[in-house]
Chain A
Amino acid sequence: MSRAARLSAIAMREALSSANFSERRAEIGAWMGVGASGIAMEDVPAIVSASIEEGAFSVQRLGDKGLLACNPLFTFQTLNNFSLCHGAILEGLQGPNGAFFSRGSGTALALAEAVHALQSGECDRAIAGGADTALHPLTWAELQRDGFAAQGLVPGEGAAVLALSRAASPAIGLLESCVATDTKHLEALPSDADLAVLAPWGAPARAFLQDLARSRYALAPVVDVSLALGDSLAAAPALAWLVALDLLQPGQRTVVLTAGIDGDLTCAAFSKERQ
């Protein structure tokens, strides 16, 4: 199991348990934002070491020796949909589903799809979230290569999952909307909020989201989750949703704004009824 899949399975179990989704598990829908493949890093040196001949990588040596040097199931570790499927297997989820690769909006798109499935009656309970690690050496090498490390992206990792229902009582919060857009089309964002939770990837995104929060939600306090937890890529929006729900007060609305390296902007709005 890759690290992201393991983190995801842990978060799924907690979400299902805390929502008391113990009955009719086979009907529960599941949508996740997922990251890159998660080949175990101990396998990479093993494969490379066995495949180098006279200082150069040899495809013939890989076929002959390198493949035998690694975990025979390493391909399963590379399958990024296992951040959805391992948890589903462990928890017995068999409902409608989807896994979106996320470098910004994919995780919010997963949440939006879960909401649509609930609204259309495709399922009456669902989970949605994200799992990822930026600490994988290959992922981090990519982020450095593409200049995101230089822009202040601090690698993090994690997983977070929301349990969703059409009619839960008591509910932690009401998901009012979840939209994915770009930084030029802000009309779909709620016009007011009592709290803004941000999950930017790197300094440019942080500056943009802070400006947006200040201009659009002038009176709302701002919490930057990525400053505390690092940039956990596909997990970042979902972790921010949990923080927002934890801080949510009765009668208030909290917006979660995220901006990833794909240039997309996402906004999830949560509220809580007055008691």
Chain B
Amino acid sequence: MRRAVITGAGAVSAFGVGLAALFDGLAEGRAAVGPIRSFDASTFPVRVAGEVPIAGIEAQWLARELNGISKGAEIAHAAAADGALRDRKVAFALLAAAEAWRDAGTPPGLDARLSFAAGLEQAFLEDLAPLWTGHSVDWSKDAKAPLPPTRYRSTVDLGPRLVAKLLSLRAPFFIHASACAGGGLAVAHAATLIERGEAEMVLCGGTDSMVNPLGIGGLSRIGAPSPRNEPDACRPFDRRRDGLAVGEGAAAFIVEEESLARSRGARIRARILGWGSTQDGYRATAPLPDGSAARRAMELALRRHGVAANRVGYVNAHGTGTPLNDPAESLAINGALKGATVPVSSIKGAVGHLMSASGAIELAACLLTFERGILPGTAHHRELDPDCPIDVIGETPRRAQVEVVLSNSFGFGGQNVTIALGHPEAAA
């Protein structure tokens, strides 16, 4: 039977560029949500975020960061000239993908596919000003407007397409448009392609940034972020929780067929033991309160290859810190694990909610458990909500050796996905 393993990983988060920055931040129990610096948010209802600590993304800098990839400098400069780097998640995707590619020691000429979640287009409202007549947008002025080719908004697949170009990946590309479940679904789909024999290697993951004026503004209008504007904005599973913290970043993985990976001597970071997807089919603005669809996603992830629930040693929760998500997810966890006491944490208090990239960055965090024997903590979690009767790891990470971890991702609109990861030496 063909099985999928992770042989490379890359990450960009509020802790910085690189997987090591994420690992170190989580292992040390730090949190990186703070005041927004990439634009003037002083008049916005929400003014804090888990922002990647790069003020402006310049071509020269990006080209340097893409070192070791032959087309890196060319892609970086072309993206800058096109205006593509105005959308921060484009650079995040390139950085994470390049790191994963290098990390896997990917042999030249290897035939690889792409399965990536890309978030939404970024709107550039400022571009509409030259077209503004005083009461409407005059699109006929478009041709004369002194704007770069990427104007008004980026395109959904802009980042993934540049990744594909950077690494010469084979079309067609799978661009997952599944909101906050996108990153998880992209990795699950990569494993599917491997198991079905449709690919030997897949570059997968997710990238997103809504840390921009309309992204932050739009999320604040729907009341999802915490209104307090404090660094502890997101307090998952805490009695005092009052909303999420918006984050940004990307994570990418090289997923490949296990026997081929072992035969080329690749370092296996984790085995993908299963995945499951469901929909709430409930409401656009709220999760299914009984958590039953989320629970079923977790059960499907375990059932796919017959992993017993009692092998699960850690759950990386979706854990948004919103009033509605956390109790519903607690019900799902207890239901899927049959009430067993299993440590649970959410890294969203530390790095924010990376939206379409959240499933990917949280899967990257799960690798920490296998590689350093550390279960990430839940930043700003101090007082367990009785409506969340689960074993939440508090602010201090725990030391533990675990064999199987589950990672949950639930999207706006009701898409759910759970991925079961196994220790590199875990039995199938």
Contact = CB atoms under 8 A, between A and B. Distances in A.
Interface residues of B, number: 68
A37 B87 CA distance: 15
B345 to A, nearest CB: 26
Contacts of A82: 284, 413
A12 B132 CA distance: 38
A264 B172 contact: yes
Given A76-B222, A181-B172, A36 B156 contact: yes
Interface in A21-66: 25-26, 30, 34, 36-37, 39, 44-45, 47-49, 51-52, 55-57, 59-64, 66
B121 A76 contact: no
B231 interface: no
A2 to B, nearest CB: 11
Contacts of A96: 276-278, 300
A145 B120 CA distance: 19
Contacts of A76: 222, 284-285, 412
Contacts of A45: 135-137
Select the residue from B123, B149, B177 with max chain A CB neighbours within 10 A. B177
- Interface size on A, as a range, is 35 or more
A159 B277 CA distance: 24
Contact of A48 (B45, B132, B149, B281): B132
B221 A93 contact: no
B411 interface: yes
B172 A89 contact: no
Contacts of B411: 81, 85
Interface string B31-43: 0000000011111
B151 interface: yes
29 contacts: A30-B279, A44-B137, A45-B135, A52-B132, A61-B43, A62-B43, A63-B42, A67-B45, A73-B285, A76-B285, A78-B121, A79-B179, A79-B413, A81-B177, A86-B284, A88-B279, A89-B414, A94-B296, A95-B278, A95-B279, A97-B279, A98-B189, A101-B175, A109-B172, A116-B192, A138-B153, A182-B172, A264-B171, A264-B172
Interface of B: 39-45, 118, 120-121, 123, 125-126, 128-129, 132, 135-137, 139, 142, 149, 151-153, 155-157, 171-179, 182, 185, 189, 192, 196, 213-214, 217-222, 276-285, 293, 296, 300, 411-415
Interface of A: 25-26, 30, 34, 36-37, 39, 44-45, 47-49, 51-52, 55-57, 59-64, 66-67, 70, 72-76, 78-82, 84-86, 88-89, 91-101, 103-106, 109, 113, 116, 137-138, 140-142, 144-145, 180-182, 262-264
